[in-house]
């Protein structure tokens, strides 16, 4: 690097947006002209902080993605020793504020005249936790909010920082969530030599162009992981419904599922694929794609199933609840019903169908497994005494003995003469 003239920042230089640095005893080893017209951000971080180590690569990506004439970052290091400082800053492309910069460093340095500078800046900008990224206004005051969360959520798109940019990005997310949206734009996937975005199948990672899926049926985005027991249970349910759907649906109406893996490493990812007949986002693209999709569809826990229409319009962001509701109601015969109902993609419609289903059920039945008549009722949740699976909604129940059956699990039915208006309403 060529030797740069050391310049003391002062009010006389007309650099009011950096005068705060001068008041804290900072000196630049870069020309002041290199800061003209730029957004200046103070980045508070330390190598001993795991969230800082995780966030720094994201910030480096943003810094290298934006126009260098628009942004400059100055690290305010909170490292406690030179070794930590050296490890922390070795890959940083921006300016470094340091009390005693190590020799032979190949980056520009903002020198601090005292070792307490970092602490004073923390106090001035009320930095209570790290990492913290503080954009400065032209007068050196803090502008808008700490930008760390914005960068974590949106990556390079977070710049220029501020409430207005967050509003724009959230509006874009909302538009994608409501749809319609092209799957290619939604998934941000790698491309083939023909510039076609692709997902992969478990068949040796065969590439399937996303364009082949558009308009052919509903799309399920399945968020799950092998390490998560509820995910493995739900995968079994989804697999049964998917197999029935694929064997009975025409090519114009069938459901396709794309696995958005939350597995911890590539080996777990491969093991997950071995149990699934559907498609998946390539592991190499997972980190950014799943972060964007989790943000857009507000996925906070797994397993989760987001159902999209043939043209990318959102049918439901909680398809898991829809599938579970069907399984709770139909018990061991749920797979065909799930395959049929899942195409509706809305829990309200499934509930309406189940209400209509109840109109065709008898008010009472007799069953050889129980001595008393079983009365039709509704419940939030119960365990079927025949199949031992959880149920929800309609249930044939004996209130005396706490005996419950899925409607599909009854073996001998006897219709009573009880007025059908005596059925209770669904428990909300």
Q: Whole-structure pTM over 0.75, yes or no?
A: no
- Write out the chain's pLDDT in tens, 428 residues: 333 322 223 223 333 334 444 444 444 455 556 666 788 888 999 988 999 999 999 999 999 988 877 888 888 888 888 888 888 888 888 888 754 444 444 444 444 443 467 777 888 888 888 999 998 865 556 666 789 999 998 988 899 888 889 999 999 888 888 877 777 777 765 555 555 678 888 776 788 888 787 777 788 899 999 999 999 989 988 888 888 777 765 544 567 899 999 999 999 999 998 888 899 998 888 888 888 899 999 898 899 999 888 777 888 888 887 777 777 666 666 666 666 656 555 555 566 666 777 777 888 888 888 888 888 888 767 888 888 877 767 888 888 888 988 887 877 554 444 444 444 433 33
Give me the residues paired with residue 379 across strands. 393
Tokens of 81: 């020793």
**Per-residue confidence (pLDDT) for residue 324, from 0 to 100:** 77
Q: At a CB cut-off of 8 Å and minimum separation 6, what does 205 contact? A: 282
Asked if 344 contacts 350 with a C-beta cutoff of 8 angstroms, the reply is: yes
Tokens of 389: 């699976």
3-class secondary-structure state, position 126: coil
**Per-residue confidence (pLDDT) for residue 218, from 0 to 100:** 82
What's phi and psi for 187, nearest 5 deg? -90, -20
Tokens of 97: 């504020």
Q: Render pLDDT for 299-353 as a digit per residue (tens, 0 to 9).
A: 988 999 998 887 778 888 888 877 777 776 666 666 666 666 565 555 555 666 6
**Per-residue confidence (pLDDT) for residue 126, from 0 to 100:** 85
**Per-residue confidence (pLDDT) for residue 113, from 0 to 100:** 40
Query: Which residue's entry shows tokens 């199933």?
Result: 305
DSSP strand E in 83-195: where?
95-98, 109-112, 132-135
């Amino acid at each position: 690097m060529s030797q740069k003239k050391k310049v003391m920042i002062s009010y006389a230089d007309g650099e009011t947006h950096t005068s705060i640095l001068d008041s804290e005893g900072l000196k630049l080893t870069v020309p002041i002209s290199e800061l003209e017209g730029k957004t200046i951000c103070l980045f508070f971080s330390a190598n001993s902080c795991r969230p800082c180590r995780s966030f720094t690569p994201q910030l480096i990506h943003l810094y290298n993605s934006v126009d260098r004439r628009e942004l400059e970052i100055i690290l305010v290091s909170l490292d406690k020793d030179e070794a930590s400082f050296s490890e922390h800053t070795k890959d940083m492309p921006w300016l470094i504020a340091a009390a005693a910069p190590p020799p032979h460093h190949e980056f520009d340095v903002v020198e601090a005249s005292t070792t307490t500078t970092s602490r004073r800046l923390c106090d001035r900008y009320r930095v209570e936790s790290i990492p913290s990224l503080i954009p400065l206004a032209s007068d050196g005051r803090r502008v808008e909010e700490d930008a760390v969360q914005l960068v974590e959520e949106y990556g390079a798109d977070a710049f220029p920082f501020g409430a207005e940019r967050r509003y724009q990005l959230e509006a874009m997310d909302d538009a994608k969530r409501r749809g319609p949206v092209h799957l290619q734009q939604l998934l941000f996937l790698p491309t083939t030599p023909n510039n076609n975005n692709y997902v992969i199948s478990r068949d040796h990672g065969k590439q399937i162009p996303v364009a082949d899926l558009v308009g052919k049926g509903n799309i399920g985005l399945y968020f799950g992981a092998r390490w998560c027991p509820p995910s493995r249970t739900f995968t079994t349910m989804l697999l049964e419904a998917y197999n029935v759907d694929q064997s009975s649906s025409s090519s114009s109406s069938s459901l396709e599922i794309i696995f958005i893996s939350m597995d911890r490493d590539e080996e777990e990812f491969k093991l997950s694929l071995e149990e699934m007949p559907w498609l998946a986002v390539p592991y190499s693209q997972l980190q950014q794609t799943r972060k964007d999709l989790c943000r857009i569809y507000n996925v906070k826990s797994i397993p989760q199933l987001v159902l999209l229409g043939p043209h990318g319009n959102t049918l439901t962001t909680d398809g898991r609840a829809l599938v579970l509701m069907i399984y709770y109601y139909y018990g061991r015969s749920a797979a065909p019903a799930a395959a049929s109902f899942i195409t509706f993609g809305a829990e309200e419609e499934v509930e309406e169908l189940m209400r209509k289903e109840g109109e065709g059920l008898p008010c009472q039945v007799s069953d050889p497994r129980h001595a008393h008549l079983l009365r039709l009722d509704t419940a939030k949740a119960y365990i079927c005494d025949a199949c031992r699976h959880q149920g929800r909604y309609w249930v044939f129940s004996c209130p005396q003995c706490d005996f419950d059956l899925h409607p599909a699990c009854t073996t001998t039915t006897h219709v009573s003469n009880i007025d059908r208006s005596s059925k209770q309403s669904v428990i909300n």
